[in-house]
Amino acid sequence: MRRSGYLTAVAGLAALLGAASASAQTKSLVVAGYGGSWEQQLRKSVFPAFEAKHGVKIEYVAGNSTDTLAKLQAQKGNQVIDVAIVDDGPMYQAIQLGFCGKLDGLDKSELYPAALFKDDNAVAVGQTGTGFMINTKTFKDKGWATPTSWNDLKDARFKKLLVIPPINNTYGLYTLMMFARLNGGGEKNIEPGFKVMKADVNPNVLVYEPSPGKMTELFQSNQGQIAVWGTGRVQAFANTGFPVDFIYPKEGAPILLASACPVAKANASPLAQEFIKTLISAPVQTVLAKEMGNGPVNTKVDVNMRELRMAPVGERAKLVIQPDWNAINAQREEWTKRWNREVER
């Protein structure tokens, strides 16, 4: 080879290696999950160390669970998302639709059984109870008794002061389900729930709010005084110093399992598996518990810590209700259309 040709080849190889190196340095992992305190905490406590360890840039796509499921459906056959973090109900749907791959080598020895999914297609990364968030200062100033029942949401004193997420959010769905259960129905007979929502609860609703950030803003602006929300969200809000508390309704608090799965796709990144295993590790579960009041799925986390005073652990776990997700998911699309037509108009 002539020297000029040799130099050209060397330069070309160097450029190729440089491009490969740059590509390796800028590889990305796309994680779709919750917004609000979840996103803030992951960006603060999880992403930096994971990115540094694995030489990857995490791209986070925030949205509620049904938004993420819709993205998976829209991208079918050409998935962009690597890891999906959604509520357990939509996760069962994602698995059924074939969007979730298998978690390889999942160490179950430190996990609570409730965290596990059939065939290891997903795993829970946090436990949340569903009940009421109240502004304790307002309740004290007005001399209002603390609500103890789902039926208290019908109380006229809460007219236009009640905030509930919409039905495409698990908390809104659970509200409908609980009113069905309390009035002779349930997951397989939702009619009583719609009847109570339309006639008795709707007059009290200020807004059906899906955004965690806007939910807290409604309380900070003194517009909302009582809401249906989850223990983790309420604890994270309380940690900011705002006067809110969580109330477990006496009839029970439906459990919500924040869950993660590696998205099934051609040439799936092995880092998707590593990221999920990082989320369920004792150190990260401890951080999520301390910073957000997230009920841990790892048995090595101390459930007696002060930051878990709202979480569905210990004695409070006895108030937890397990929904029938098979029955719910079979009808959820129909319920959503009806909710939008009859309730949230």
- Averaged pLDDT, 308-320: 92
Confidence of residue 6 (pLDDT cuts 50, 70, 90): very low
Is the confidence at residue 131, as pLDDT, over 50?
yes
Range in 140-154, 196-210, 305-319 with the lowest mean pLDDT: 305-319
Confidence class of residue 26 from pLDDT cuts 50, 70 and 90? low
Query: Is the pLDDT score of 23 beyond 90?
Result: no
Place 314 in a pLDDT band, splitting at 50, 70 and 90: confident
pLDDT digits (tens, 9 = 90+) for 206-264: 999 999 999 999 999 999 999 999 999 999 999 999 999 999 999 999 999 999 999 99
What pLDDT, in 10s, does the model give residues 136-191? 999 999 999 999 999 999 999 999 999 999 999 999 999 999 999 999 999 999 99
For residues 121-131, average pLDDT: 97
Does the pLDDT value for residue 130 go beyond 80? yes
pLDDT above 90 covers a percentage of the chain that reads: 90
pLDDT(18) > 60: no
Query: pLDDT (tens digit, 9 = 90+) per residue, 43-53?
Result: 999 999 999 99
What is the SS3 string spanning the chain?
CCHHHHHHHHHHHHHHHHHHHHHHHCCEEEEEECCCHHHHHHHHHCHHHHHHHHCCEEEEEECCHHHHHHHHHHCCCCCCCCEEEEEHHHHHHHHHCCCECCCCCCCCCCECHHHECHHHCCEEEEEEEEEEEEEHHHHHHHCCCCCCCHHHHHCHHHCCCEEECCCCCHHHHHHHHHHHHCCCCECCECHHHHHHHHHHHHHHEEEECCCHHHHHHHHHCCCCCEEEEEHHHHHHHHCCCCCEEEECCCCCEEEEEEEEEEECCCCCCHHHHHHHHHHCCHHHHHHHHHHHCCECCECCCCCCCHHHCCCCCHHHHHHEECCCHHHHHHHHHHHHHHHHHHCCC
> pLDDT at position 345, please?
73
Average pLDDT value for residue range 98-120: 94
Per-residue pLDDT at 17: 37
Q: What is the rounded average pLDDT for all residues in the chain?
A: 92
Residue 1: predicted pLDDT: 43
The whole-model pTM stands at 0.85
